[in-house]
Chain A
Amino acid sequence: MAYLGRAALLLAFGLVAYALVAGSYAAWKRRRRLAHSAQNALLAAFPVTLVAAVLLLVALGRRDMTFVYVWQHTSHELPLGYALSAFWGGQEGSLLLWLLVLTGYAGLAVWLNRRSRELIAWTVPVFGLVACFFAFMLCFVSSPFNVQPAAGDGQGMVPSLQNPYMLAHPPLLYLGYVGLTVPFAFAMGALLSGRTDERWIVATRRWTLAAWTFLGVGQLIGAHWAYVEIGWGGYYAWDPVENAALMPWLAATAFLHSVMIQEKRGMLKVWNMVLVALAFNLSLFGTFLTRSGVIDSIHSFAKSSIGGWFLAFLSLMVVLSIVLIRWRLPLLRTKTRLESLVSREATFLYNNLLLVALALTILWGVLYPILSDAVRGETRSVSKPYYDFFLHTFGLPLLLLMGLGPLVAWRKASLRSLGKTFVAPFAAAVATGAVLLALGFGSSWPGLLAYTFSAFVGASIVFEFVRGRAAAGGVFRLIARNRRRYGGYVVHAAVVLLAIGIAGSSAYQTQRERVLKPGQSIEAAGYTLRYSGLKGVKGPNYTGFRALLAVSGHGERFNLSPGENNYPIEGQSNEASIYHDPHSLGDVFTTAQIAKGNSIDVKVFVKPLINLIWVAGFVFVAGALIAMWPDAVEQRRLAARYAAGAAPAGI
């Protein structure tokens, strides 16, 4: 079975290499049949890669320990679901997942846009180039199909990965990371072909939105996993690999906004090319960080052999992006300029600058320890205070701009018009801030500002819906006729919920720690937790203990049982116990470790409003779906526009 997998990967490599070489030649020399043949090679790469993927899944499901990869990441006692999730648990499997998703996306995007022959002719070799790298790595550097004599049992799976969220978090992240290749390939295809009109944007708009949504949801699920599984009481540690997913998401957010300016005003063509290249290259960088072992992170489980290759490919793609954009600058420049610094275009530009600034400061925070080690031989770390500073510096103004943007008209807005639209949201913000200050929330000024700005944004979104409904004659008609705008407002509402949840659970959380003997109590933020004793637990592949805590406070009574699991093969893991308060939307989060005998070292976190973060995820998806939903009227208009050169299809 392993040789079949290797053969499938070699075939996939051959197909994407053909797509690259033949596709480039065909586009350059304008050979129709050869271009079509290269396109077919790209299409065929997906089912071939799928065969390799299925073979690996079967080996994992069977726990076939003659596969080195299976032996490294599973054991006979590991439940089936987690054994299958080992597909993306290790380096080789995650590279195969990258290639699988990439060939799937590439094939679908190219097939849907096959009638835009000029654009596709150059897009195919770009996809081929990226796929070639991953296929090469899988065939010659890091294969999941290496074999060994049959071993007794495997090394198992890291306990923290044995969590249902691990069934979703990595695949969703990869659907996001890899999805950013689609707009990148079309953008580079547009530059190579010299067709810098809007076709490439129209063709990739929904792909970009989908990739951005997957990346956002993947990060939220990852944050929830970290919260329930790792046991430090938080959900985002500014871990370099967490940052590696956040950076392309920020760049893609900037791109999604500024591309609207290009569509409406024909401006920012160069900037959009830079943003799409930045988003893609940051996603490659993220994969490099996660899999190269170049940084110490909870996500980097081993040093690996692929770091040098990744760095070389990443450098190649960065240079290629710069060279192509520089080459086509004359085609990208427009004469249209910003008419006013007080306009929606201007607020989008400000938000772009803040998003990119935030992404680049996070990038510096990730790179600094690596560079310091490489250049000076000193191990330095960049920790939470650095990231918090820039999150406050750029994030709070971004939050404010989310409220300002919708209130300002396109092209230019007079101060008189602005005054009319600003009054109500501004009043809501001031009232909220004053009330919170009176209630003692001034203990954290970033928290207070986050709440106040959130009130401003929330009010501006509500007024947009109220005014719009009056003009359109109903909410559903309003949304149906303006899906991108109002879908965007729903996404903004999700960001408001996220900001409130983050501010509440971090700026206003209460943390206590104490060693307790049976019968003793600990108090935190109005809750009393009384420890009564220990209880043993047993699972399919672990044993452990739970500390029994009876909790009372705020008119409620409930039980919590934090503890630890002990996996014979993989080791120990912390098991937090969390109570979700349905009234306050906050959590009481506890962990426990054995101190001595029956005594436990218990930590308690009371985290106000933290559940708004998870609720925000659902609202985010709803908003994205609304924005993505096809509009038949718009589709017909675009089809008529591109009828001469064949219409780009998008999704």
Chain B
Amino acid sequence: MLAVIAVVFVARPFLRDPSPASDRLDELAPEARERLALAEERDRALAALKELEFDHRTGKISDEDYRSQVGPLRRRAAEVLRALEHGEGARHERVPDPGERVP
């Protein structure tokens, strides 16, 4: 009985949809992948800003260090947000992280 239930459960996708219009497994289109990469970059940039603000409020970072870091982080976050909003993805030059070495 258990074996029958198991076999039916395993075969269920074929039993429910014996003649599908498409049997292709979804994959992200290249544009969607680029948008995802930008979304991750956006979240990293915004999280970095949030951490910087918090560290500054708690006195872990001096005013001088804060001023030197906040500008580049804000610029980077703005560039990534702009790229996302315009959906420019792969066609745009990749926005570098401030810590990235550019050859």
Query: A residues touching B (Cβ–Cβ < 8 Å)?
Result: 7-8, 11, 15, 18, 26-27, 30-37, 40-41, 43-44, 47-48, 51, 117-118, 121, 195, 197-198, 263-266, 335-339, 407-414, 416-417, 420-421, 464, 467-468, 470-471, 482, 637, 641-642, 644-645
Is B44 touching A40 in the complex (CB atoms < 8 A)?
Answer: no
Which residue of the partner chain, among A48, A118, A414, A467, contacts B28 with CB atoms under 8 Å?
A118
Is A33 touching B14 in the complex (CB atoms < 8 A)?
Answer: yes
Is A468 touching B58 in the complex (CB atoms < 8 A)?
Answer: yes
Q: Determine which residue in A266, A408, A411, A414 has the highest number of CB atoms from chain B within 10 A of its CB, and name it.
A: A411
B58: chain A residues within 8 A (beta carbon): 464, 467-468, 470-471
Which residues of B22-53 are within 8 A (CB) of A? 22-28, 32-33, 35-37, 39-41, 43-44, 47-48, 51-52
Is A264 touching B47 in the complex (CB atoms < 8 A)?
Answer: yes
Question: What are 20 of the A-B contact pairs (CB < 8 Å)?
Answer: A8-B2, A30-B24, A30-B27, A32-B24, A40-B10, A41-B10, A197-B33, A265-B99, A266-B41, A337-B99, A408-B60, A409-B65, A410-B48, A411-B48, A412-B69, A414-B65, A416-B64, A416-B65, A420-B62, A468-B58
CA gap between A27 and B3 in the complex, in Å: 25
Is B25 touching A338 in the complex (CB atoms < 8 A)?
Answer: no
Closest Cβ of chain B: how far from A331's Cβ, in Å? 11
Is A645 touching B28 in the complex (CB atoms < 8 A)?
Answer: yes
Is B14 touching A37 in the complex (CB atoms < 8 A)?
Answer: yes
Closest Cβ of chain A: how far from B90's Cβ, in Å? 14
A15: chain B residues within 8 A (beta carbon): 6, 10
Closest Cβ of chain B: how far from A480's Cβ, in Å? 14
CA gap between A41 and B5 in the complex, in Å: 11
Chain A residue nearest to B99 (CB atoms) is A339
Contact with A along B61-103 (1 / 0, CB 8 A): 1101100010000000000000000000000000011111110
Q: What number of residue pairs across chains A and B have CB atoms under 8 A from each other?
A: 153
CA gap between A191 and B47 in the complex, in Å: 26
A11: chain B residues within 8 A (beta carbon): 2-3, 6
Query: B residues touching A (Cβ–Cβ < 8 Å)?
Result: 2-3, 5-6, 9-14, 17, 20, 22-28, 32-33, 35-37, 39-41, 43-44, 47-48, 51-52, 54-55, 57-62, 64-65, 69, 96-102
Is B36 touching A40 in the complex (CB atoms < 8 A)?
Answer: no
CA gap between A411 and B100 in the complex, in Å: 12
Is B44 touching A264 in the complex (CB atoms < 8 A)?
Answer: yes
A32: chain B residues within 8 A (beta carbon): 13, 20, 22-26
Chain A residue nearest to B29 (CB atoms) is A644
CA gap between A370 and B10 in the complex, in Å: 44
Chain A residue nearest to B58 (CB atoms) is A467
Q: A48-B2, A336-B97 are in contact. Are A641 and B26 (CB under 8 A)?
A: no
**12 further contact pairs, Cβ within 8 A, besides A33-B14, A44-B10:** A27-B25, A31-B23, A32-B23, A36-B13, A51-B2, A121-B25, A263-B44, A265-B99, A336-B99, A409-B60, A468-B54, A644-B36
Is A117 touching B26 in the complex (CB atoms < 8 A)?
Answer: yes
B17: chain A residues within 8 A (beta carbon): 33
Which residue of the partner chain, among B11, B36, B64, B102, contacts A642 with CB atoms under 8 Å?
B36
A37: chain B residues within 8 A (beta carbon): 10-14
Q: Determine which residue in B12, B13, B25, B51 has the highest number of CB atoms from chain A within 10 A of its CB, and name it.
A: B25
B64: chain A residues within 8 A (beta carbon): 414, 416
Q: A8-B2, A15-B6 are in contact. Are A335 and B100 (CB under 8 A)?
A: yes
A645: chain B residues within 8 A (beta carbon): 26, 28, 32, 36
CA gap between A335 and B97 in the complex, in Å: 9
B5: chain A residues within 8 A (beta carbon): 44
Closest Cβ of chain A: how far from B98's Cβ, in Å? 7
Chain B residue nearest to A410 (CB atoms) is B51
